[in-house]
Amino acid sequence: MMEYEAIVAKQEFFASGRIRVRVQDNGSIHKSLEVQKYWTKWESLGLYIFFLPTYCSEMNRIELEWQQLKKHEISGQMFDDELDLAYAVIDGIDARGERNNYRTERFKFNNYSSC
Q: Quick check: is 114 in a domain?
A: no
Q: Quick check: is 111 in a domain?
A: no
User: Looking at the structure, do residues 1 and 51 belong to the same domain, yes or no?
Assistant: yes
Mean pLDDT across the chain, nearest whole number? 85
The domain tally of the chain equals: 2
User: Looking at the structure, do residues 34 and 76 belong to the same domain, yes or no?
Assistant: no
User: Looking at the structure, do residues 83 and 42 belong to the same domain, yes or no?
Assistant: no
Higher-confidence residue: 98 or 111? 98
Give the per-residue pLDDT at 42. 93
Q: In whole angstroms, what separates CA 38 from the centre of its chain? A: 17
For 19-69, what is each residue's pLDDT tens digit?
Answer: 999 888 887 888 899 999 999 999 999 999 998 877 766 777 778 888 889
User: Looking at the structure, do residues 10 and 44 belong to the same domain, yes or no?
Assistant: yes
